[in-house]
Amino acid sequence: MHRFAAMIALILASTLHASGPATSIDAFVAEEMPSAGVPGLAYGVTFEGEISGDQHGLLRSDEETEVAPSTPFLIGSVSKSFTALAVMQLVEAGAAELDAPIGRYLDVYAGRPQSAITVRQLLSHTSGYSTLQGNMSQNDLTMDAASLSRRVDNIAGMTPVSQPGETWEYSNANYQVLGRLIEVLSGQDYADYTADNILSPIGMNDSFVHGPDNTNGMATGHRPWFWTKAPSNEVFTGRGSGPQGGIVASARDMARYLSVMMNGEDDVLSAAGKAQMMQPANDASPFYGLGWFVNTQDGTVYHSGSNPGYEALATMIPAEKKGVAVLTNAGSGIGFGGTIELRNGVTARALGRDYNGEASPLPQQATFVMLAALPILFVIAMIWAWVKRAAIRAKTGWSGRFSLWFPLVTTVGLAMAVFLIVPQAFGAPLHTIRLFVPDMGLAMIAGAVTGVTWAVWRLIIAYTGSTKAS
């Protein structure tokens, strides 16, 4: 598993291959949905401007309301393509320049070294901000109008981990800054600008930016919970998350959006501007354009998305004017109940591409089972230590002290790995991991805490009480 952004499907490698016969999408969905643990799914397809699609399952697993054609889902990081489109509109209007420094437009960057980061570098994830820096605010669920401004104030104070323009690293921080750029240049908040200049002109009437007063009708998100999926009574995204992952859309609205992106016409953006978004942005970003992943080998342009309890995938073949969006109201577990095969399978069938399935989930499943079992094993070990307390108290000499104290060293090391190293490896703080995969987050914390407790418990037993058996 590589970085947390990949784990929550923020970065999804294209696995579609050469053209081949497609089997029934609906038959595939009916077969795959139960193993994926997905209560509800909708997909929208566009081919040469014609829109079609279907929907399956329930808005919420413990209720009987079915997903409807108009049902909106959170689309996660597919929202970045909307933010990029909004920025390109402002560029074409002369309000901004792609290669201008962000410090020219946002006063909070004034006088800071990172003010030299350009708009193009933010759009293409080559600004130098890291995945971890971009995920630091994921637990900010505030809904006031200033929430995005506050987030960007914090980002402006961060030192990028690499020099702008040198390396590619996916970071939500880039699109939070771009969202604030849209607000400053347009004089509207992000949600209003997006509705007025993208959603409404395209005819995305069932779509909106998630906010405090517009959640009615949304499919309920379901997060992994120990081999099941639990419905969430809360939508785990704040108003400041809008530019990076806060757009809510129906599948058919998404098909309309993809159709407009491929129609070769000057409408919400010039045809040339739309084509530019779907080409590699620069030498440091050979597989990402402006808000879209780009696969120059098979001609696909795509973006995945993940919010706690939701996952999405939008894919286009611009040369063939084909596109498909797949939306689900469930997040993927670690090895259990993943949605990637479901989303990729629907996508391949809709586009007429072959799809060979995903690699075996057994390694991830084994890792998760081990994590889940670890705190139980430590509790059993604590009970066993009490049963064998006489033997523990009888340990003497150098070897005895080593056997008593070494477990404390190893379990403290385990705890440090959980709280310090794992966030760096996944590119997400622990609170973000707990939002997206709460079962794994709980297992990791419980394992770290019970491990140290077991080691300390052995020392308490060893240095208190009698050496005689009770």
* Distance from C-alpha of 106 to C-alpha of 116, rounded to nearest angstrom: 11
Supply φ then ψ for residue 99, to 5 degrees. Answer: -100, 20
Tell me, what's the pLDDT at 202?
Answer: 98
Tell me, what's the pLDDT at 140?
Answer: 82
- Please report, to the nearest 10 degrees, the dihedral formed by the alpha carbons of residues 24, 25, 31, 33 taken in order: 180
* Distance from C-alpha of 168 to C-alpha of 329, rounded to nearest angstrom: 30
Q: Which amino acid is at 344?
A: N
Supply φ then ψ for residue 19, to 5 degrees. Answer: -60, 145
Tell me, what's the pLDDT at 467?
Answer: 53
Tell me, what's the pLDDT at 145?
Answer: 87
What value does the mean pLDDT of the chain take?
Answer: 92
* Distance from C-alpha of 431 to C-alpha of 235, rounded to nearest angstrom: 15
| Ranges of the chain whose pLDDT falls below 70 | 1-23, 214, 466-470
Helices (H), 303-429: 340-351, 362-387, 389-393, 397-416, 422-426
Which pair of tokens denotes residue 230?
């639990």
